[in-house]
């Protein structure tokens, strides 16, 4: 894989930030977009725009076909069995809310238990908290160890006859921990408990095969996979989508409406009410093409190389502490510098054109567990180079100089 060639596909890297070349290390937050994706969105609006669904005219037929082509691409990309197992939402958060709400409505009653982990992003905690409030459900947290790995034995111990669902991340957006989902699904399924996986960080960076994982639900967002904002994806096994009630009501999700009765549309429309982010979903197909053009194996290998290089270099800088040391780690590196608050780090790095994130990264449970208020986070994307890491480290040295650290 030629990283410079790949980087050249992203127009943003020809821009200067504070007079410096952009070093973008915030892909866990959202990735930059290749020209093919940007052009597709523009092209669709210029030459092909129509809403999808009911209209008979040529533009509508074309748009509907293109929309469905993305669904097929997504299905193949994550190896789902059926097109109707792929539901488009506005983001991964909405996808998780869809399941928490509809599954909760149907299957959760007072005292029932939901297991999540201490690694979860707020988007895989707050929707379940709603069930704690509304249904008086109980949320249990599978603990993590110092390294940032979920302690599987402890997770097992949390399961009781009242456990109704396990919702867990595939890849931590703080420590980069790759969670052994297949093992967790096997444990859960032995007790007939369904598993929802938050795949926001995994789909852009590791191989995801939902059939192999055998999870019941898998949520991710398009904008982290080099795609446009406004596209979330929910994969759910057909048996669940057929059984669960609808989520949002309105046009397109019905097949017949009478004064005394409404019949809902079949899958996948049942879960896609109202006008969808048509242009964005159609554009997302280009993102999948982009991912495929690189090949997931080359992408993994490249990001691993850059991550290892970054870890090695960061560890050599005095007073830098890497948070977590998981068994399997992807390109997400949270760190602290003794004596400098993460927000000061982020501001100073920005002056050198280095974009990182500082704060709790929507993971307050994790930070509390680790006795931290905030961390700085550098996250790797397909376009990052060893040069980027060198510039990051130089900028960190500059931080230390400003703060007069020895």
Contacts with other proteins by CB under 8 A lie at 18, 339-344, 347-348, 351, 358-360, 364, 367, 373-374, 402-404
Query: Is 322 in contact with 314 (CB distance < 8 Å)?
Result: yes
d(Cα 158, Cα 151) in Å, to the nearest integer? 11
Q: How far is the CB of 246 from other proteins (least distance, A)?
A: 33
d(Cα 96, Cα 283) in Å, to the nearest integer? 22
What is the edge-to-edge ordering of all strands in the sheet holding 113-117? 86-89, 232-236, 217-221, 195-198, 163-169, 113-117, 138-142
- Candidates 238, 172, 235, 237; CA nearest to 206 is 172
d(Cα 137, Cα 120) in Å, to the nearest integer? 18
Q: How far is the CB of 147 from other proteins (least distance, A)?
A: 23
Q: How far is the CB of 355 from other proteins (least distance, A)?
A: 12
**Closer to other proteins by Cβ: residue 248 or 405:** 405
The one catalytic residue among 362, 363, 393, 399? 362
**Closer to other proteins by Cβ: residue 215 or 340:** 340
Q: How far is the CB of 340 from other proteins (least distance, A)?
A: 8
**Closer to other proteins by Cβ: residue 208 or 337:** 337
State both tokens at 277.
């982010």
Per-residue CA distances from 388 to 320, 381, 391 (Å) = 18, 11, 5
Q: How far is the CB of 373 from other proteins (least distance, A)?
A: 5
d(Cα 135, Cα 109) in Å, to the nearest integer? 6
Could you tell me if residue 259 is left (phi over 0), alpha (psi between -120 and 50 degrees) or otherwise beta?
alpha
Enter the DSSP assignment of 11. G
**Closer to other proteins by Cβ: residue 225 or 399:** 399
**Closer to other proteins by Cβ: residue 102 or 123:** 123
Q: How far is the CB of 139 from other proteins (least distance, A)?
A: 21
d(Cα 180, Cα 142) in Å, to the nearest integer? 13
Q: How far is the CB of 212 from other proteins (least distance, A)?
A: 38
Q: How far is CA 285 from the centre of its chain?
A: 17
Enter the DSSP assignment of 65. H
**Closer to other proteins by Cβ: residue 47 or 371:** 371
Query: Is 137 in contact with 113 (CB distance < 8 Å)?
Result: yes
**393 catalytically annotated:** no
**Closer to other proteins by Cβ: residue 344 or 390:** 344
Tokens 């097992």 identify what position?
Answer: 156
Q: How far is the CB of 360 from other proteins (least distance, A)?
A: 5
Query: Per-residue DSSP letters for 277-303?
Result: -HHHHHHHHHHHHHHHHH-HHHHHHHH
How many CA atoms lie within 13 Å of 235's alpha carbon, on the beta-carbon side?
A: 31
**Closer to other proteins by Cβ: residue 214 or 350:** 350
Tokens 């790995």 identify what position?
Answer: 149
Query: Is 349 in contact with 162 (CB distance < 8 Å)?
Result: no
Positions marked catalytic: 362
């Amino acid at each position: 894989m030629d990283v410079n060639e790949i980087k050249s596909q992203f127009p943003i890297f020809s821009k200067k930030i504070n007079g410096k070349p952009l070093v973008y290390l915030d892909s866990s937050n959202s990735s930059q977009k290749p020209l093919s994706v940007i052009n597709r969105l523009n092209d669709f609006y210029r030459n092909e725009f129509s809403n999808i669904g009911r209209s008979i005219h040529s533009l509508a037929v074309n748009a509907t076909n293109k929309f469905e082509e993305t669904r097929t691409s997504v299905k193949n990309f994550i190896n789902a069995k059926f097109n109707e197992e792929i539901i488009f939402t506005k983001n991964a958060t909405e996808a998780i809310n869809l399941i928490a709400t509809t599954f909760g409505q149907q299957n959760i009653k007072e005292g029932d238990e939901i297991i999540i982990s201490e690694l979860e992003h707020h988007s895989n905690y707050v929707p379940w908290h709603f069930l704690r409030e509304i249904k008086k459900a109980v949320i249990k947290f599978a603990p993590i160890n110092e390294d940032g790995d979920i302690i599987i034995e402890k997770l097992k111990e949390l399961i009781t006859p009242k456990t109704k669902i396990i919702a867990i991340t595939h890849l931590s957006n703080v420590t980069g921990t790759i969670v052994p989902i297949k093992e967790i699904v096997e444990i859960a399924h032995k007790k007939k408990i369904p598993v929802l996986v938050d795949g926001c960080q995994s789909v852009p960076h590791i191989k995801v095969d939902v059939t192999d994982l055998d999870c019941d639900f898998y949520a991710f967002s398009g904008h982290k996979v080099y795609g446009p904002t406004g596209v979330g994806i929910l994969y759910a096994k057909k048996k669940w989508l057929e059984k669960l009630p609808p989520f949002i009501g309105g046009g397109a999700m019905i097949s017949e409406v009478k004064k005394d009765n409404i019949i809902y549309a079949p899958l996948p429309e049942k879960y896609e009410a109202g006008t969808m982010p048509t242009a964005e979903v159609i554009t997302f197909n280009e993102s999948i093409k982009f991912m495929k053009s690189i090949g997931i194996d080359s992408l993994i290998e490249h990001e691993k190389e850059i991550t290892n290089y970054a870890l090695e270099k960061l560890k050599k800088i005095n007073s830098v502490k890497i948070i977590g040391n998981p068994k399997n780690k992807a390109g997400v590196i949270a760190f602290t510098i003794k004596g400098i608050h993460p927000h000061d780090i982020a501001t100073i790095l920005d002056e050198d054109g280095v974009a990182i994130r500082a704060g709790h990264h929507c993971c307050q449970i994790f930070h509390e567990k680790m006795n931290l208020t905030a961390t700085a986070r550098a996250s790797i994307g397909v376009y990052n180079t060893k040069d980027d890491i060198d510039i990051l480290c130089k900028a960190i040295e500059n931080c230390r100089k400003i703060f007069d650290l020895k």
